[in-house]
Amino acid sequence: MGSIERAIEVLKSGGPVLLYDGDEREAEVDMVFPAWVAEPDVIYELRVDAGGLLCFATSSRLTAALGIPWGDELLSSYGELRLLANKRLRYKDRSAFTIWVNHMGVRTGVSDEDRSLTVRKLDEVIKMAHEGDLRGARELFYSEFQAPGHVPILAARSLRERRGHTEMSVTLFKAAGLRPSIVLAEMLSRGRSMSVEEAEKVAEKKGIPLVKGHELLEWCRKNEVCWSD
């Protein structure tokens, strides 16, 4: 079984995968879980074993349907902030960030329990939208969340347009036949991002699949369905 096929099976069972974008981009590894399994213990695992910013990721088609704006577009409408929003990091992609939210049921928003609640409630919104109940999804989102909060929402563009962890994770979920509802965090070492070599050792120790960007892109070349968001 190849790495993509193994990752698909693990995601279907609710387990995590590691995702490496590539040497030519950020050269970073993210730990990725389905959002619907994000109980406090999963948030703890992402916080301790990964350590980077915990994010919720979904499709830009669904964020658009929910009326959620791109973060750079939002900032560009506020005077000199546009000077920040129009900049690009070294890999030149537009940011995948939209807005940051909390569920109204949290205490402060940052604990494992609080972020678990926010992520799982976001999954409920995405599940409704993915299944076609956009009206219900919007009502749930605008009645039960507040912003700014402690969980950033990332939106995936087409994999043809952007090849970041957000797009690659949504692509994997699409390949698995799963709704695009994802919680992820970058893996860190002391003082820096974790190298792919270090991540390979973690993957072997924990029995977690590690998917590399070039492997996913090659798989997608044989499966055109991957290229849409």
Active-site residue identified among 20, 21, 26, 55? 55
- How many whole angstroms separate alpha carbon 109 and alpha carbon 146? 10
What is the SS3 assignment for 109?
coil
Residue 86 designated active-site = no
Active-site residue identified among 30, 45, 72, 167? 30
Active-site residue identified among 20, 45, 102, 130? 102
Residue 55 designated active-site = yes
Q: Which residue has the tokens 């919007």?
A: 138
What is the SS3 assignment for 159?
coil
- How many whole angstroms separate alpha carbon 162 and alpha carbon 83? 22
Segment (H or E) for 97: strand 97-103
Residue 223 designated active-site = no
Residue 150 designated active-site = yes
Active-site residue identified among 150, 198, 200, 215? 150
Active-site residue identified among 9, 39, 49, 91? 91
DSSP label at residue 46: I
- How many whole angstroms separate alpha carbon 174 and alpha carbon 40? 25
Active-site residue identified among 112, 186, 220, 229? 186
Just list the catalytic residues.
Answer: 30, 55, 91, 102, 150, 186
